[in-house]
Amino acid sequence: MDLCHGRMTVFHPRVEAFMVSYCPRSQFLEFNLYPRLSWLDSFQHRGSKLRLELNSVITSRMLQQPHALVIANEYPQNADFPRNYSRKEKKPFPVPIVELRRAARERLKNRKGRPKGQAPPPKNGVVVKSLIPLAYDVFNARIIMINNLKKLLKVVPVHACGWCNEIHVGPVGHPFKSCKGKYATLRKGLHEWTNATIEDVFVPIEAYHLFDRLGKRIPHEERFSIPRIPAVVELCIQAGVNISEYPTKRRRKPIIRISKSEFVDADESDLPDPVPEVPGKPLLTEIPNSEIKAPSNGEEIKFLAEETVRAWEKMRKGAKRLMKMYPVRVCGYCPEVHVGPSGHKAQNCGAHKHQQRNGQHGWQAAVLDDLITPRYVWHVPDVNGSPLQRELRNFYGQAPAIVEICIQAGANVPEEYKSTMRLDIGIPSSVREAEMVV
């Protein structure tokens, strides 16, 4: 900190060290987060200058002592778009293999010489009782979000390409040449827009329903006899949600482990007969498409949009907490998801070079986006203004389709998605003005 020359260095956890301009006669600190950028580039980061008022009195003794000012920012100002992996690429591991092996060696070293203790739930077959209310909240949040999306699709125009899986939220489809579907070369990459459905906006990720999540792995021969349900619903069922249509085994005593892959159930004959538990929160149901009615006025549209955003965030945050206790697997080559300790043995992987693996999946730990896939779409800055222009593509941001629908319906922009929407970047009014940007 050098106050004699009117400058102070500030260290930020996400940004490199930046300078702070200080004037002894003034009661304000001005921060320049990007000192190495020219004055033209600073227009792109104009939201990075902070101005803080100093309410405290600075004495001469305090000026002689070094001070460090740390400003924490949970979300970056501008973030890159999520990467789209090609069909020939394998998904990266959430934790590198080197870190997994190092952690395994540490666990083996710490466990050496100690008696084997009882595994905590849910590894011992018993559900985690503290997470049962959260499982019900995630299940109901998903139903609320789906029902509200069906109503919002009646008033918010959403387009889907007839040849690829890209969608767009807005009055007209975007003009970008990004189609990779069939006959894309004949159409020069242009999309052919049609009306989108709820399945286009909220991607249906299904998984096998397990009667016993600690039982044997599903063989290839039984792949058609076991029902498939939404993966989020299967996660909620394993976490404690009781649905009569999909029964599951509930143990009241921990299992007795014989070996790593063998165990026996404990004797529960001394326990009283199980009483059907009444759920603390009633389970909601989806509204059929024939009974969906469009909202009547603007206030109802805005209320549905805000409720949908809250349900979306509640479902994702709750599912992320459940995934920390109940493991979820995903194939590294295709979108197949399995909720359970280990993946199934069904040989139905059709990704790149699946013949070399005999159709078997390459299971690895799943992340939240594998379970609940956010379909990112281009953000329309002004719905009532001019449509998106092909030459100004680098100035537009992106947001999940569900969030973009709610924003165009009147909801506030969530703080989490402001970094990818690029709200602080000025969009040129013409192509000529864009060419002048350095």
Q: What is the 3-state secondary structure of the chain?
A: CECCCCEEEECCCCCCCEEEEECCCCCEEEEECCCCCCCCHHHCCHHHCCEEECCCCCCHHHHHCCCCCCCCCCCCCCCCCCCCCCCCCCCCCCCCHHHHHHHHHHHHHHHCCCCCCCCCCCCCCCCCHHHHHHHHHHHHHHHHHHHHHHHHCCCCCEEEECCCCCEEECCCCCCCCCCCCCCCCCCCCCCCEEECCHHHHCCCCEEECCCCCCCCCCCHHHCCCCCEEEHHHHHHHHCCCCCCCCCCCCCCCCCEECCCCCEECCCCCCCCCCCCCCCCCCCCCCCCHHHCCCCCCHHHHHHHHHHHHHHHHHHHHHHHHHHHHCCEEEECCCCCEEECCCCCCCCCCCCCCCCCCCCCCCEEECCHHHHCCCCEEECCCCCCCCCCCHHHHHHCCEEEHHHHHHHHCCCCCCHHHHHHHCCCCCCCCCHHHHHCCC
Has residue 83 got a pLDDT over 70?
Answer: yes
What is the reported pLDDT for 278? 65
Question: From its phi and psi, is residue 338 left (phi > 0), alpha (psi between -120 and 50) or beta?
Answer: beta
What is the reported pLDDT for 312? 97
CB 301 within 8 A of CB 408: no
- Which tops the pLDDT comparison, 232 or 39? 232
Give buried/exposed letters for 236-245 (b at 16+ CB in 10 A, else e): bbbbbbbeee
Q: What is the mean pLDDT of the chain?
A: 83
What is the reported pLDDT for 427? 86
What is the reported pLDDT for 280? 66
Residue 180 makes CB contacts below 8 A (sequence gap 6+) with 164, 189
Name the pLDDT band for 74 (thresholds 50, 70, 90).
low
CB 90 within 8 A of CB 332: yes
Has residue 208 got a pLDDT over 80?
Answer: yes
List Cα–Cα distances, 421 to 9, 53, 84, 264, 305, in angstroms.
30, 29, 17, 52, 18
- Which tops the pLDDT comparison, 152 or 59? 152
- The segment with the largest mean pLDDT, out of 46-50, 72-76, 192-196, 262-266, is 192-196
- Tell me the pTM: 0.79
Among 204-213, 257-266, 301-310, the range scoring the smallest mean pLDDT is 257-266
Give the span between the Cα atoms of 96 and 99, in whole angstroms: 5
Q: For the residues 331-339, what does the mean pLDDT come to?
A: 95
List Cα–Cα distances, 405 to 83, 142, 287, in angstroms.
22, 16, 19
Dig out the tokens for 308 from the structure.
Answer: 């949908």
Dig out the tokens for 304 from the structure.
Answer: 């549905």
Residues in the chain, total: 438
Name the pLDDT band for 141 (thresholds 50, 70, 90).
very high
Number of neighbours of residue 265 by Cβ within 10 angstroms: 14
Among 239-243, 255-259, 312-316, the range scoring the smallest mean pLDDT is 255-259
Strands 263-264 and 228-230, bridge-based pairing: unpaired
Pick the closest to residue 404 from 372, 375, 425 (CA basis). Answer: 375
What is the reported pLDDT for 375? 92
What is the reported pLDDT for 8? 45
List Cα–Cα distances, 67 to 3, 4, 61, 63, in angstroms.
10, 14, 12, 9
Tell me how far the alpha carbon of residue 254 is from its chain's centroid.
33
- Which tops the pLDDT comparison, 62 or 418? 418
Residue 164 makes CB contacts below 8 A (sequence gap 6+) with 179, 180, 181, 184, 191
What is the reported pLDDT for 245? 93
What is the reported pLDDT for 23? 45
Q: For the residues 117-124, what does the mean pLDDT come to?
A: 84
Has residue 43 got a pLDDT over 50?
Answer: no
Name the pLDDT band for 76 (thresholds 50, 70, 90).
low
Has residue 258 got a pLDDT over 70?
Answer: yes
Residue 410 makes CB contacts below 8 A (sequence gap 6+) with 298, 301, 302, 305, 306
What is the reported pLDDT for 12? 45
pLDDT tens digits for 365-382? 999 999 999 999 999 999
What is the reported pLDDT for 34? 45
Among 175-184, 252-261, 386-395, the range scoring the smallest mean pLDDT is 252-261
Q: For the residues 147-161, what does the mean pLDDT come to?
A: 96
* Cis check: omega of the bond before 122, within 30 degrees of 0: yes
Has residue 364 got a pLDDT over 80?
Answer: yes
